[in-house]
Amino acid sequence: MGKADKKYAISLSFQEISLPSVEDILVLGKASTQGKNGLAKTFEYLVPDTFVMVEIDDHPNVEAIFINKRILSKISVDQVQRILADKVYPFTSPQEILKVDFKVVVHYETIEID
Amino acid sequence: MNIAPLVQSDVKRVSPYASSGSLRPHLLVHTAVALMEEEIFVGVLSFKDLTIKNKVLAIDCLTPKPSIDCHTSLETAIGLMQEHQKEVLPVLAANRFVGILTKTVLVSALSRQGIDVGAVFDQMGISPSEQPPTLQALTTFALHQNQLLRTVAHDIRSPLARVSALIELSALTTDAAQKETYFQLMQENIKRTFLMLDDLYQVSGRGDLSVPIKSVSLRLSEVLTELTAHYQLDASQKGIHFFWDIEECNDTVTLDKFQFIRALDNLVSNAFKFTPAGKRVFLRLYMDQDQQLTVAIQDEGIGIPPDSLPKLFIPFSGTNREGTHGERSVGLGLSITKQILDQLQIKITIESQEGKGTQVYLRMGAGTPAYQRMA
């Protein structure tokens, strides 16, 4: 078949993305091929001073988590860890890297003013 | 005496963010590399670290190792190595990296000094089973390492030769689909080479060449069908006609697929090696009359002299010969194959007639661990 006989169909689309794709929290599995140091460096290059790495020593599957500092201005690292340990770690396999959407809404029921 | 004269300073320095894949070939030959970030010492990385951690970047493969300085005594250094289970330690001077100290060099020096290594360890409360080897044991170990090196050379030749041939073929074709097939075959061969190297690394610390077996349930017909593309390529390189006949039968087996392929690769590559161009090689899977699942590799090659047949599985027995196209032969292939097949509990039989050809049969009888008849 000659070159002139060929027809090409091209499917094309595009959309904006932002890097890194993680906005809130990233959970890194112990056996993931990416390691905590490499990921920390990636965050440092792409979004300097935005994420905090917390090493997890007491979980069999989770090596570290990366938390957006914006979250930590509202609740503590310990509180975040407790929530993740309860709701996310049970579903994390050692090979995985999980992106966690973690929105904090602060709501006051009653505000008393003098 | 201190460790200063034993420090190896010509250690390769690399970025901590270098890919572990790029360091693997270097670490197969050298003991360790030093990870340096802008002249700041980050750590010493060994091949064992790469294998244990298996991460993309060098820095994520590092394992903690205590550092020592040039004034450290031999006894303290060996104690630290034993305590932390390390075969290499970084040597620093005023927080600057100056080199590494390896366990092999250290134990050898202790023995040369006439120091009773066993007594040193007894004083440290380290049991004999945890102690490093004596000089005599090291000599035996060196011989074993030498044999292992030959095994590496032998086993990685086939997949590398295939990759080389596939690169040439993909350069010659303009067909995108064909190129894609070649790339997939290349990838499979490279993956197998790495698996082989990891295995060989694991056996390098032991006194024999037995390999770790990870058996799973699989259809042998599927494994063989997968391999025919590779074997066709090998055959076409030499102008040999390759035929296969994979019979529909009860072929579910419990096997370590990778090790089985390694053994079969050796046997098929031998068939190709000793068969001249224009002749035929057959690969068959069938159930024989005794209800044994059988893989047969038959060739119309030069055959094996009768006096060599009993010695085929003995390493370096002198039965190795050049292939029909001058291919080199190390003299290890069949001994490695036999060892793997023994571990897989598969029986191998070789029949041959000089000038007529060779038939190799791999048999898995009902009831053996390899062959589990499905209801």
For chain B, give the secondary structure using H, E and C.
CECHHHCECCCCEECCCCEHHHHHHHHHHCCEEEEEECCEEEEEEEHHHHHHHCCCEHHHHCCCCCCECCCCEHHHHHHHHHHHCCCEEEEEECCEEEEEEEHHHHHHHHHHCCCCHHHHHHHHCCCHHHCCCCHHHHHHHHHHHHHHHHHHHHHHHHHHHHHHHHHHHHHHCCCHHHHHHHHHHHHHHHHHHHHHHHHHHHHHCCCCCCCCCCCEEEEHHHHHHHHHHHHHHHHHHHCCEEEEEECCCCCEEEECHHHHHHHHHHHHHHHHHCCCCCCEEEEEEEECCCCCEEEEEEECCCCCCCCCHHHCCCCCCCCCCCCCCCCCCCCCHHHHHHHHHHHHCCEEEEEEECCCEEEEEEEECCCCCCECCCC
Q: Is A79 on the interface with B (CB under 8 A)?
A: no
- Between CA B167 and CA B170 the distance in angstroms is 5
Q: Which chain A residues are closer than 8 Å to B61 by Cβ?
A: 35
Write down the pLDDT at residue B209.
54
**B47 pLDDT more than 50:** yes
Contact B59 A35 (CB under 8 A): yes
pLDDT: is B110 or B163 the higher one? B163
- Between CA A107 and CA A6 the distance in angstroms is 63
pLDDT tier at B205, thresholds 50, 70, 90: low
Q: Is A34 on the interface with B (CB under 8 A)?
A: yes
Q: Which chain A residues are closer than 8 Å to B17 by Cβ?
A: 38, 41
Write down the pLDDT at residue B374.
44
Contact A33 B53 (CB under 8 A): no
How far does A42 lie from chain B, in Å, by closest CA? 10
Write down the pLDDT at residue B12.
93
Write down the pLDDT at residue B117.
64
How far does B21 lie from chain A, in Å, by closest CA? 12
- Picking from A31, A32, A37, the nearest residue to B59 by CB comes out as A37
pLDDT < 70 positions in chain A: 1-4
pTM assigned to the model: 0.49
SS3 (DSSP) at A55: strand
pLDDT: is B268 or B200 the higher one? B268
Write down the pLDDT at residue B312.
80
User: What part of B 127-156 touches A (C-beta under 8 Å)?
Assistant: none
ipTM greater than 0.85: no
Contact B55 A41 (CB under 8 A): no
Write down the pLDDT at residue B50.
87
Write down the pLDDT at residue B234.
83
Write down the pLDDT at residue A44.
93
How far does A41 lie from chain B, in Å, by closest CA? 9
Contact B56 A38 (CB under 8 A): yes
Q: Is A45 on the interface with B (CB under 8 A)?
A: no
How far does B58 lie from chain A, in Å, by closest CA? 9
Write down the pLDDT at residue B136.
55
Write down the pLDDT at residue B243.
93
- Picking from B16, B17, B54, the nearest residue to A33 by CB comes out as B54
Contact A37 B54 (CB under 8 A): no
How much is the average pLDDT of B181-205? 73
Q: Which residue of B has its CA nearest to A42?
A: B17
Per mean pLDDT, which range of A84-93, B109-118, B269-278, B300-309 is the poorest?
B109-118
Instruction: Tell me the β-bridge partners of B358.
Output: B299, B352
Q: Residue B44's CB: how many other CB atoms inside 10 A?
A: 25
Q: Which chain B residues are closer than 8 Å to A32 by Cβ?
A: 55
Nearest to B319 by CA among B341, B298, B339, B303: B303
Q: Is A33 on the interface with B (CB under 8 A)?
A: yes
B330 CB-side CA count, 13 A: 20
Contact A35 B54 (CB under 8 A): no
Contact B60 A41 (CB under 8 A): no
Q: Is B61 on the interface with A (CB under 8 A)?
A: yes
Rg (CA), chain B: 25
Q: Is B194 on the interface with A (CB under 8 A)?
A: no
pLDDT: is B46 or B161 the higher one? B46
Q: Is A41 on the interface with B (CB under 8 A)?
A: yes
Write down the pLDDT at residue A76.
95
- Between CA B234 and CA B184 the distance in angstroms is 16
pLDDT tier at B16, thresholds 50, 70, 90: very high
Contact A35 B16 (CB under 8 A): no
Write down the pLDDT at residue B144.
60
pLDDT tier at B183, thresholds 50, 70, 90: confident
SS3 (DSSP) at A63: strand
- % of chain B surpassing 90 pLDDT: 27
- Between CA B369 and CA B365 the distance in angstroms is 9
Q: Which chain A residues are closer than 8 Å to B16 by Cβ?
A: 37
Write down the pLDDT at residue B122.
65
Q: Is B59 on the interface with A (CB under 8 A)?
A: yes
Q: Which chain B residues are closer than 8 Å to A36 by Cβ?
A: 60
Per mean pLDDT, which range of B71-80, B131-140, B303-312 is the poorest?
B131-140
pLDDT tier at B168, thresholds 50, 70, 90: confident
Q: Is B24 on the interface with A (CB under 8 A)?
A: no
Contact A37 B61 (CB under 8 A): no
**B375 pLDDT more than 50:** no
Write down the pLDDT at residue A83.
96
Write down the pLDDT at residue B215.
80
Size of interface A-B (CB pairs under 8 A): 28
